[in-house]
Amino acid sequence: MVDSERSQRYRNRMQRKKEVIDAAIARADREQGLLLVHTGNGKGKSSSAFGMIARALGHDMHVGVAQFIKGRSDTGEEAFFRKQDNVIWHVLGEGFTWDTQNLERDTETAQRGWKIVQEMLRDPSFDLIILDELTYPLKFGWLDLTIVLNDLKNRPPMQHVVITGRGAPDTLCEIADTVTEMTDIKHAYRAGIQAQKGIDL
């Protein structure tokens, strides 16, 4: 095939692609606060959510973070984002007792945490809220899924929320606008490499 023929075909193909994309962009003309879920067993759920904090701060937006993890405050993202004026960062897992399996205490800790989240979900000055590892208190029944779904549905219309964690409940995915499942193809941990600063924490 001569070169000019090839480039003509390429131009035609790209022109058709552009028309399809332009039409899709024209159709997507609404603005609204989004609910995103990052689930699955692969790596990248929390770090992708934290990446959106950087995006939001670049637009002078206000961000709230709630981490439902066993009390731990040595991650790089927490150290970095806590220094930002527009970020409020809560670690709500202090007191989770995986070891002693004290259901009452874990439930109490999670519900105390959810009260703090509820305040953020009622406050339109938060443009973006990250609920990191929220799926665990849901999975273990520490939080009432119906209450959580209801609070999420009734949040301010322009507020974005990102929820991370493995095993996201179907009902949560159903009300979400964007759901991403991270697939675990390979993880360095299984080759005996411990969590690395800057990559895993």
Contact between 62 and ligand ATP per CB under 6 A: no
| List 44, 76, 95, 169, residue binding ligand ATP (CB under 6 A) | 44
Closest distance of CB 66 from Mg ion, Å: 13
Contact between 45 and ligand ATP per CB under 6 A: yes
Contact between 80 and ligand ATP per CB under 6 A: no
How far apart CA 38 and CA 111 sit, in angstroms, is 22
CA 10 from centroid of its chain's CA atoms = 38
**Tokens in use for 108?**
């109490």
Give every CB contact of residue 152 below 8 A, 6+ residues apart in sequence.
Answer: 35, 121, 161, 175
Closest distance of CB 177 from Mg ion, Å: 20
How far apart CA 63 and CA 200 sit, in angstroms, is 22
Per-residue binder mask for Mg ion (CB under 5 A), 43-62, x = binder: --xx----------------
- What stretches of 109-185 adopt beta strand conformation (E)? 128-132, 160-164, 178-182
| List 33, 34, 47, 116, residue binding ligand ATP (CB under 6 A) | 47
- Closest to Mg ion by CB, 64 vs 165, is 165
CA angle 129, 35, 89 (to 5 degrees): 10
- Closest to ligand ATP by CB, 26 vs 191, is 191
How far apart CA 179 and CA 177 sit, in angstroms, is 7
Binding site residues, Mg ion, CB under 5 A: 45-46
Contact residues: ligand ATP, CB under 6 A: 41-47, 133, 164, 166, 182, 184, 187, 189, 195, 200-201
